[in-house]
Each structure stands twice: as structure tokens, then as C-alpha cells.
Chain A
């Protein structure tokens, strides 16, 4: 067991304790957390910086406003309901309008108006929010994902997670929903994570649960070697996120829309560590590398070039 720990350390694998003690606690100031924990604030920041985000249809802040829901979604065939302060994808509903006033979920099941109102009320009372405090509900544009992913995602919206440290993109993965994840792009819930070569934007091996897979378990199409469109823009967004929020260590979640291109979904001040498994590589060595040469990296271009050069797949 000691040997295993040593080998992991040599591979530069980052553990939860080290991520907290040496990165999030040191490089992410507590007062900046609300910027990313509240998705409404993140949206405003991104828009101000000229970065595209999914269009916001409406916000519900108190229980009484739940009745405004039909008015907010009027004129939109599909929409997403999410807690402003949710974590780990909890409480997010992706809905399409269906027959008889029902709403269709990505898995094909239906939800009534009353069930949607109940879900909205639950979000407001804070069961999905980080500290359990009362929350807001965002209703926003449902992404029509890029056709490149249609072959390798089962329902739901695949997204791209890039971890950036001091403004340098250090690791990336694509998260692909599966039948098991219920259309959600969350690895905990059964989505596939595929590592991405930072230099080329091409997917590497993928993990599902605790094992490595080459093909999507539901569509049976290969998930490796897929080239992600708009890759330079994605790297640019990830590098800029540092100036945006001031958080040194963060995860940037981006979706690719068929028509609108890359949209920032959310930023994360405590991004998970599964990305290491998806990339079959440890974060620790890359982070140390960035720390050692941080003084030479002044501009966004410098940082992107540094990432492409140093963190290309072997």
C-alpha cells in the first residue's frame, strides 16, 4: 500500500487533501467563491468580458414567483432549469415541451407542470445548494450540441472541462452522457470522461466508472481520436477565466452549440480529480511545472502556448 502511494506520487497524481491544502486553499480566495458558486454572477462576468454563455430566460428568486414559470418559458421549445448555486450537476433539469402541457426529459420520460413547480420550490429552499442556504433558479437556453458529439453522447449535453492553473490550461476532458448517467455529463453519475490532448484538441482514452473504454457503451461509436471543434477558442476561454474571477485554480465547463459555438456553462472553484483518470495522467507534475515558470507567462497567448507545448499528449 505504501508502494502504491509512492508510485502515485511519482506519477504526479493529485489527491483531494493535496488539492485542498496546496491549491484551492492557497490560490482561491474565499471571497471570490461567490463569483463561481453563483452561476448568475458567473454569467454576468463572462458577458462583461465578451465570452458567450447560454442565454438566460429568467430567474426565480422566491416561491411566489414559481407561477411566473410558464411566462418565462413561453416561446422557447426547450430550456434548462438549474439551481444558481448547485454543485456536481445536482438539481439540473433539461426539458423540452411535449404534448398536453407536459415536459419531456432527455431520457424520454415526462414531467408535469406541478412536478416542475415542486422541483423549482426544492431548488429555492436550497436542497441542491452548496451550504444548504436558500437558492435561486435559473431558466436558460438549452444547448443544441454540436453534431460532432451526436455519435458519442447518449441524450443530454456533453461538455468539456478544462482545468486552468494561474491562467494556464493544464488538463482537459470531454464528459459524455450515457444511459446510466440519465443524460447528465457528470462522471459520478455514470457519464464517460475522455481525456483531451491540449495541443491538438483530440480525445485520448476514456474512462467509464472505474474502467477504461474505447467506445461509447450506448452508441458503440469510438470515443477516442475525436477532434473537438473550436479548440483554440476553448483554450482561450480557459486561459481568460483567471482574469475573469481571480481564482488561481479552477475548472471551466464549456459546451459546444451547433449554432452559437462554445458557451461557458459554469466555473468551478473545486474541480474534481477524475480528470486525471480520464487523461491517465497526474495533475501534480503539470501544476508544479506551471508554478515554476509562472513569472515568464504574462499574456494569455503566452499561457496558451506554454500549455500546448508542455501538456501535449505523449
Chain B
């Protein structure tokens, strides 16, 4: 067997990769390291609805661009829909319409945002009208009683907000706060109730709806807080404790008590928002530079994909890095693991659960799974039904862990749901077979080995620089491919074999 062909192939692959990489780094000046000062965020809203067959007219509220919170690179992906933006009171709105549409429809809105500095003073705005929310008599009495109780104790609007929110948060059955809140204790309900009470007391207040721009997330929930009109400007207050200011790292999207989308001619729309750290200024500049040169890399790169898809690729593109490490550990070091790629999949789950929780949850699930598997051994079940039974047990154990840890207040336990169930089941089954055939020590050693490999994979795959390089320079995958091809013909010793064959080396005096 001639390896020249392989060396050529690997060489060509690596050369192509480095050529593209070099061009992007040297000519287009793509940043090689992730920028630490990233303050821009890309946000994408996806609106899904089911059209009834006639004309559809809808309105989607958009963030307003201000000097402290610029919104740029706005784009709609709306297919055949006509789009126009207009001013809608406190908000900006996109009006979308079509003469006829049937069935599932999807619209995208994308924009890049920047967070305002923590200490900002809102700009003055004209006095709003005080729209008192209609209340029934009991509610009216409760709202008044609450104001009478709190007002004398408050030195100003800040303390009043603090008292009001704390009162609502700690509502006891039978008191005024509880009557006003009704059954719900959600943040949104607290915000709306506080607004009702404030307006009743003659203080203009409104709800702010926005997002926490904390990390890369594929589906984020809407956060709510309150703005109160004091003197000539709207001052923000947090809905957690009534403290002044916008909640940390939150971006206001729209204001008011309405939903962000209103639509006629279709079912209730479903909106999902995703957010990620936008690829920094250096990178944006690089993309723009490439556009002026005439190479439109944005359109023909991962940056041109819809945002949710980009998020998926951010995860997928680091998988080859983990796999490369796995090949090294198995074929060069000689570690043995349960299932060829199982550690990489576990490492992917660790991304969400984080390391300590990941290891704890993995151990608990595998331990309980094995106990049940040993019990099932007595029932003498056939293989496939037995595996099916273990799948169900694994899912049950995961659900139970989530419930228990949530009740105990460990949020980390919730992420157990992200473990690959089938992979865990196969691990449990293989582990019991090894346990039977080769003893408990061997089974535990192999399980621990798999876990150690998974931890290494996680640490590598989760390194910021690795994620950055894989996503910004996907051509580097070809280098990994070339490396793996070469490893495919690596015929040297595995590290563990050095120990295994030690007796054959040297000592023999021949």
C-alpha cells in the first residue's frame, strides 16, 4: 500500500484550507481571536402563523434606535409580504401585509443592537396621558388602600417603587396585593399590577418588554420591567425588587401592555427570539471590507444564514474538533471508551449543563440505570424490549432529577434533559455486559475513561478561541479532515501499548 496518494490528498486539503484562511486573515483582516470587547448583539425574531386564506395584515413592534442604544443592520426576510415601518406611539412598528395567503407563514426580522452603558440618563419626553386601567370596585378599593399604606412610608418615587414591588412580590393571601394580582405571580403580572396601582395614584407608568443579552441563546423569553414618568422623563425600575434602572444587560424592545405582534386574517402568531454576541466590530468591518472588494462573503458564508441556524452551526462546527481529539485519544493514546463517539455527544450535553453538574448528572443517571438493568436481568427479557425498558427508565430518572433539583433550588439539575438518551441507554447496556463478562473493575474503568475523554472534549470544544475559529473560519475543518486522514494510516504504537508490551522491550538480552 502506497501512502503517497493519502499524503497528497491531506496536503491539498490543508493547502486549500490555509489559503482561504490566510486570505481572510491577511487581506480581509478577519480577527483570529475573539474580541473581548464585544458589545454588539445580533437578535432575530421569527414570526410563525397560520394564514386563513384571505388577506393578512399584521403589525410587529420594533426597537427604536437611539444614540445610546443604536439598532443597525436591520433586515426583514418576508417573502411575498409587503413591509413598511411606521411610528406607533411609544414604539416603532413594521406593518406587513399580503392580499392572499394560506397555511403556515414565516417572517424574520434581524437586527444588531448595542447595550447602553449601565449609567445612562433617559432623554426628556413629553408628558404622557394618564390612561387609568378600568378596575372593579374591590380592586379599586385594594389599589387605594395599598397606596394609602405605602405612600406615607416612601420618601420619593424610588422608595415607593421599592415598597410597591416588594409588597406585590410578598403578597399574602387576603391582603390587597394578593387581591390585585389574582392567581398569577408572574413577573408580567406583577409589572401590570404595579402599573395599574401607580396610574390609579396619578403616576404615569408603562410596561417595558425586552431581552437579556447575556449569552448565545436560541430561544429567549421576553423580560418585563416598568418605566415611571417622573418630572419630564421616563425612569426605568426593575420588576424584581423595584430598584432603579434597567435590569443589567437588558435591552428594551417595545413599550406598552400589548403583544409585540397583532395580526388579522391569521391565527395567533408564535414568535421566537434568538440572540447571540454579534461578531464584534473587527469582524463586521472585515465583512464590510470584503463587500467593497466585491467578494460577498456574508452572503456565501455562515453569517448569511438565519440566526437560529447560525446558532446550530456554532455548536455543530466545534464537534469535528472534539472528534479529532477523540481519534487522537483512541488511536494514539489508546484509551478505550463505551461507544465510538459517545464521549463527544456527552461533551455536547456538558455545554448546556456545565461541567460539575454534567458529571454529577451523568453519574447519577448511569448509576440508577445500571441498578435497574441488573434488576431486569432477573426477568430474562429479550434484548430489544430490555433496551426499550431502559430508555423509559432513563427518561423517568431524568424527569425525576429535574423535578427534585428544581424543588431543592438547584437550577443546574434542569439541564439533565439535554443528555442524549439513547446514547446513555447503550452505555448502560454495554457497561452491564462488560460488568458480567470482565468484572466490575473493568466496567467502571471503561466508564470513567469515557467520562474523562468527554471532559477533555468538552474543555476543548468549549474554549472560546476554538468556537471562534470554527465558526469564523470553517475552512479549517479541512485541516482537521486532513489530520484525521493521516491518523487513519498512523501505524505507530499507542501510548498504552508501551506499558502493555514493556516486557518485550530491551530486557530481553538477545
Q: A26, A188, A212, A276: which contacts B501 (Cβ < 8 A)?
A: A276
Query: In the docked arrangement, what's the CA distance between A22 and B2, Å?
Result: 11
Q: How many A-B residue pairs have CB under 8 A?
A: 88
Q: A16, A122, A127: which contacts B494 (Cβ < 8 A)?
A: A16
Query: In the docked arrangement, what's the CA distance between A13 and B502, Å?
Result: 10
Asked if B281 lies at the interface with its beta carbon under 8 angstroms from chain A, I say no
A17 and B490 in contact (CB under 8 A), knowing A125-B383, A280-B503?
A: yes
**Among B331, B491, B506: residue with most chain A CB under 10 A:** B491
Query: In the docked arrangement, what's the CA distance between A5 and B499, Å?
Result: 10
**B305 CB, nearest partner CB in chain A, Å:** 37
A15 and B504 in contact (CB under 8 A), knowing A21-B491, A189-B438?
A: no
Q: Nearest CB to that of B433 among chain A residues? A: A127
Please name all residues of chain A whose beta carbon is closer than 8 Å to the beta carbon of B231 when the two chains form the complex: none
**A249 CB, nearest partner CB in chain B, Å:** 13
A5 and B493 in contact (CB under 8 A), knowing A126-B383, A127-B433, A189-B438?
A: yes
Please name all residues of chain B whose beta carbon is closer than 8 Å to the beta carbon of A210 when the two chains form the complex: 500, 503
A1 and B503 in contact (CB under 8 A), knowing A26-B1, A90-B437, A189-B438?
A: no
B504 touches A16 (CB 8 A): no
10 A-B contacts (beta carbon < 8 Å): A7-B505, A8-B497, A8-B504, A114-B380, A122-B383, A125-B384, A127-B383, A189-B438, A210-B500, A212-B503
A17 touches B493 (CB 8 A): yes
Chain A: residues with Cβ within 8 Å of the partner, total of 39
**Among A8, A20, A210: residue with most chain B CB under 10 A:** A8
Interface residues in A19-34 by Cβ distance below 8 A to B read: 20-22, 25-26
Query: In the docked arrangement, what's the CA distance between A16 and B498, Å?
Result: 11
Asked if B489 lies at the interface with its beta carbon under 8 angstroms from chain A, I say yes
Given contacts A11-B504, A282-B504, 16 further A-B contacts (CB under 8 A): A4-B498, A5-B493, A8-B497, A8-B501, A13-B501, A15-B493, A17-B492, A21-B491, A22-B491, A25-B1, A26-B1, A63-B382, A188-B438, A210-B500, A210-B503, A212-B503
Asked if B508 lies at the interface with its beta carbon under 8 angstroms from chain A, I say yes
Query: In the docked arrangement, what's the CA distance between A54 and B46, Å?
Result: 69
Q: A1, A26, A273: which contacts B498 (Cβ < 8 A)?
A: A1
Asked if A156 lies at the interface with its beta carbon under 8 angstroms from chain B, I say no
Please name all residues of chain B whose beta carbon is closer than 8 Å to the beta carbon of A63 when the two chains form the complex: 382
Chain B contact residues (Cβ within 8 angstroms of A): what range?
A: 20 to 34
Asked if B259 lies at the interface with its beta carbon under 8 angstroms from chain A, I say no
Asked if B510 lies at the interface with its beta carbon under 8 angstroms from chain A, I say yes
A280 and B492 in contact (CB under 8 A), knowing A4-B502, A5-B498?
A: no
Q: Nearest CB to that of A126 among chain B residues? A: B383
Query: In the docked arrangement, what's the CA distance between A195 and B95, Å?
Result: 85
Q: Nearest CB to that of A15 among chain B residues? A: B493
Please name all residues of chain A whose beta carbon is closer than 8 Å to the beta carbon of B438 when the two chains form the complex: 188-189
**B508 CB, nearest partner CB in chain A, Å:** 6
Please name all residues of chain A whose beta carbon is closer than 8 Å to the beta carbon of B490 when the two chains form the complex: 17, 21
Per-position binary interface string of chain B over residues 431-464, scored 1 when its CB falls under 8 Å from any chain A CB and 0 otherwise: 0010001100000000000000000000000000
Q: When A and B form their complex, which 3 residue pairs have the shortest distance between CB atoms, in order from nearest? A: A125-B383, A18-B491, A118-B380
**A125 CB, nearest partner CB in chain B, Å:** 3
Please name all residues of chain A whose beta carbon is closer than 8 Å to the beta carbon of B383 when the two chains form the complex: 121-122, 125-127
Asked if A277 lies at the interface with its beta carbon under 8 angstroms from chain B, I say yes
A281 touches B504 (CB 8 A): yes
A15 touches B494 (CB 8 A): yes
**A132 CB, nearest partner CB in chain B, Å:** 9
Q: Nearest CB to that of B387 among chain A residues? A: A125
Asked if A314 lies at the interface with its beta carbon under 8 angstroms from chain B, I say yes
B489 touches A8 (CB 8 A): no
Per-position binary interface string of chain B over residues 323-366, scored 1 when its CB falls under 8 Å from any chain A CB and 0 otherwise: 00000000100100000000000000000000000000000000
Query: In the docked arrangement, what's the CA distance between A25 and B505, Å?
Result: 26
Please name all residues of chain B whose beta carbon is closer than 8 Å to the beta carbon of A281 when the two chains form the complex: 504
A18 touches B492 (CB 8 A): yes
Please name all residues of chain B whose beta carbon is closer than 8 Å to the beta carbon of A90 when the two chains form the complex: 437
Please name all residues of chain B whose beta carbon is closer than 8 Å to the beta carbon of A122 when the two chains form the complex: 382-383
